[in-house]
Amino acid sequence: MNRKITKALHDFCVETFGHPPDETMMIPMVQDLDSKVLGAYFGEKGEWNPRNKNFGPSGKDAITKAVNALEPKRVLDIGCGRNLLKDSIPGLYGIDAHHPNADEVVDIMDFMPEEEYDVVLILGSINFGSEDEIYYKMLKATSMCKIGGHMFLRVNPGLTHNRAGAEWIDFYEWSPEKLAQAATSCNCEMVELQQDRWRDTADGKRYYAHWIRRGDIEI
């Protein structure tokens, strides 16, 4: 659950009414506001501007080359945004909870594919929310990759975007250790992990990882 919105609502109620809000009643409100914040920022009219061309190993050219070298039949791009990889990777299907350019506008937790994918891309889309939310989204993403299939990830170490609308987004603090733990929890082998950047400033830092799913998982 979005920690920034939760704290703001809690503080408002205490300062205005002298009492904290009931947590069970606050949960659906926070979830609704969080969805609206993400939709306003990452949607068609939002401030978000993809930097895929600026990254190194997780950038458009490198990812396209790495994926196409595997000759996959089915590729899933989770949180595809403007679906910019659609024309360069055959067999790619993009889903996104907020952007109309996706092949299907749907949240990852609500997406029900007919069969598993050879490659799953998670390039900046599982970066938001609590540790539990991140954990279950990673499990769901892995469940859609076939055993022996490949997963390519780019994650944010908790750095807020310096753009209007991003101040209320709850960025999860990814680290190499958390990526390794997630790979283990998802029964994946992490074959590559390195730092990536879209620019040489403090807020440009990201992590790139390449996993291979090795076995069954429980969701």
Taking only the tens place, the pLDDT of each residue in 26-70 is: 999 999 999 999 988 888 777 677 777 789 999 999 999 999 999
- Counting the structural domains of the chain, the total is 2
Examine the pLDDT at 8 and tell me if it is beyond 90: yes
* Residue-level pLDDT at 47: 67
pLDDT of 14 > 90? The answer is yes
Answer yes or no: is 218 within a domain: no
Same domain, 140 and 75: yes
Tell me, yes or no, whether 113 and 24 share the same domain. Answer: no
Residue 83: inside a domain, yes or no?
Answer: yes
Q: Same structural domain for residues 139 and 175?
A: yes
Supply the range of the domain harboring residue 198. Answer: 60-213
Angle ∠(133,53,109) on CA atoms, nearest 5: 20
Q: Is residue 88 part of a domain?
A: yes
* Statement to judge: residues 28 and 72 lie in one domain: no
What pTM value is reported for the model? 0.92
195 and 105 in a common domain: yes
Query: Is residue 151 assigned to a domain?
Result: yes
Let me know whether 162 and 103 are in one domain: yes
pLDDT digits (tens, 9 = 90+) for 172-208: 999 999 999 999 999 999 999 999 988 777 678 999 9
> Do 68 and 144 belong to one domain?
yes
The reported pLDDT for the residue numbered 198 is 83
Instruction: Provide, rounded to the nearest whole percent, the portion of the chain with pLDDT above 70.
Output: 99
Is the domain of 156 the same as that of 197?
yes
Say if CB 92 and CB 86 are below 8 A apart.
Answer: yes
Residue 211 and residue 175: Cα distance in Å, rounded? 15
In a domain, 128, yes or no: yes
pLDDT of residue 202: 67
